[in-house]
Every structure is written in structure tokens, then in C-alpha cells.
Structure 1
Amino acid sequence: MPKKDPNKPRGRMTGYAYFVQTCREEHRKKHPNEQVIFAEFSRKCAKRWKEMNDKEKCTFTDMAEKDRHRYECEMKNYNPPSGEGKRKKKKKDPNAPKRPQSAFFLFCADRRATVKQENPSYTVGDIARELGKKWSETNPDIKSKYVQAGEKEKEKYNKEMAAYRATQEKGAPVAKKQKVEKPASSSSDSSSESDADSD
């Protein structure tokens, strides 16, 4: 968490906050040696505030109004130090390599349509739960194929990311990625084909 700027204007107070502050000061004068139990004290203040009419609250709401003006004036003249304020979400570069899918997500991509077809009444959450169940029950040999495919995706991503970062550091524009059409076969078939190609 960033350090608080000591020059930043103090936040504005509400009428109720001024009322509680006044009650605290009164209590301190009447009972200087008494330990205040915060929760109990807050409850009593809230009860008193609810029972007060608008005329009685007027003093505190006027104080709050003056404080609001003070705060607004101070904020107009306040310049936060660089790097402070709301952090803007980094825009995603459409040319950046797509993050690799895990073995589980590759498994889900292969089996989602089947689970949907077998259970048409399932919600998205139900389908996800069913896929998780199927993944945990899957034979380790089949799982290892997805793990290997996931590792290949990770390696490919790391290479693409290194190349992408290198072009970003040079400041050279990166050509837009073209969509590659995927074959209709499942990823388990394609992983076995890529194993055959590597031989």
C-alpha cells in the first residue's frame, strides 16, 4: 500500500462525525479517568443522534458544510505527487502473445461439448464442476498427454513472449497477429501428430 501523502488535505467530516467528536470531548471532561468502550460509546451516540430533531442537528450540519467548503478549496490547490491517485488498469496489447492454457483447461476444451450434450439442463457452473470431477477421475496416462500439451504451450508462449518483449524494448512496431485456423480434430489428436512430426 502506498504511503499517505502528508500534504494531502484532511478528509471532510459529516455532521454526525462532528456530533460524535463533541460527545467524546464532553465525556472526557466529565469522566477524565474513565476508559471509553468504543462500541458502547458509538451506540449511545447513534441513539442520541437519531433522537435529535433537525434544529438540534443544525449546529453540526453547519460545521460539516463549512468543512466541506474547506476541503473543496484545499483539494483545488492540491497537487498529488506523481504516481499517486487511481491506478489505471494496463491496457492489454492485442499483439501480445496469448497466455498458455493449463493441462486442465485443455482437457476442459476437449470435453466441454460432450458434457453439455449429455447434460443439457446444466448451468455453466454445473458444467465446470462436472469437468473438474471428470479431470480428477481421469486416467493418469490420459492426464499426462494434456500435461505435455500444456508444457508445449507454455514453452511456445515463453518463446513468443521473449520475442515480443525484445520488439517492445526496441520500440519497433509489432505486426498484428493473424488468426490461425485450428483443425477440427481434438487437441489430443494434434498432440500425437506433433509427436510424430518431432520424430
Structure 2
Amino acid sequence: MPRGKGRKKKDPNAPKRACSAYLFYASAIRPAVKEEFPDLSFGETQKKIAEKYKELTEDEKSKYNDMAATDRQRYEREMENYTPPSDDSDSDSDSDSDVPKRKKRKKKDPNAPKRASSAYMFFVKENRAKVKEENPDLSFGELGKLMGQKYRNLTEEEKKPYLEAAEQDKERSKRETEAYNNAKNQYVSDEEETSDEDSDSD
């Protein structure tokens, strides 16, 4: 059976694609988002960044739009001087050994238990609105830095309720994860039994 032609190998010398205004914004704000929400997964961090981008005014977006326009001009300039390799030079690179297999990202189960929150996260949830009200002119990133600074300045006694809440949430997550894994294993076991019964009846 003839095997389908492999995906064309990307030319490492090809001009880098132009970035969008959103990508420039995401790159600039990601460190601040990770500092304020250290327990978020990669996908949750991306979602948070997208939410923040939607909240920007047109004036706030203009900076990133300008960066995107400049990068688009750079890309168009480079493409004018770029000569892609011929198909012949790619013909030897269609083998499986030359094409790196992209690892499929595991789809998150919506029924999976919520990850445990850290003491810092509990502090942020309780105090963020108040700090934002006291400092309305701060950007999202600046607000995140201020929250981190305020948390670091707490005494051990002041941190105690947040540490206790985090410990309780850790126990909650542990219990729910065990129950979730048991239920998942039971489901797999039931599926295998059903499959065996079907094969026996043939």
C-alpha cells in the first residue's frame, strides 16, 4: 500500500512569520500573569492573557498594533529576498526519521479535580479587589508585582490563614484526585470486561 507523502519539511532559513498584535501583548504580559497566578496551567494562563487583551482600550492596543505593523513590513521585506528550496531538495527528507513527531497535547478532562491553590493565590483572591481600588492607575502587570510585594512583606502570623487554607485545599485536591483516579480505573475495567464478553459471544 503506497504511503502518503510526508509533510513538507520546514525550511530553517525561511523568514520568521509576522507576529500579531495579540502575540506581542502576550509576550510582554506573560511573566506578570505567571507571577500573579503561579498555579495556573499553560492553557489557563493563555486564557487569562486573552481575557486581559479583550479588556484593553483601543488606545492601549495601539502600541501592539504598531509593533505588529512593523513586524509585518519586516516579514514582507524578507520574503521578497527569500528563495524557497526546490521540491527535489525536499524529496529525501520525507522519511519518518527526518520528520519530528509533534507530541499531541493531552486534552484536559473537564471532570478532573481542580488543582490545589497556593497560599499566595488565597491572598490574591482576598486582597486583589481592594489593592486594585487603592491603585486604579496600575496596569495588570504592575498590579501583579504589587500583590507579590505585599505578600512577601507579610509576617509569618499574617501569612498563617493563607497557609492553612492552602493546606486544606491541598488535602481536598488529594481526596478528589484519588476518587477521580479510582472512578477512571473502574470505568476502564468495566470497558475491558464488556469487550471480553463481546468477544466471547462471537
TM-score (norm. length: structure 2): 0.47
Greater RCO, 1 or 2 (C-alpha within 8 Å, sep 6+):
2
TM-score (norm. length: structure 1): 0.48
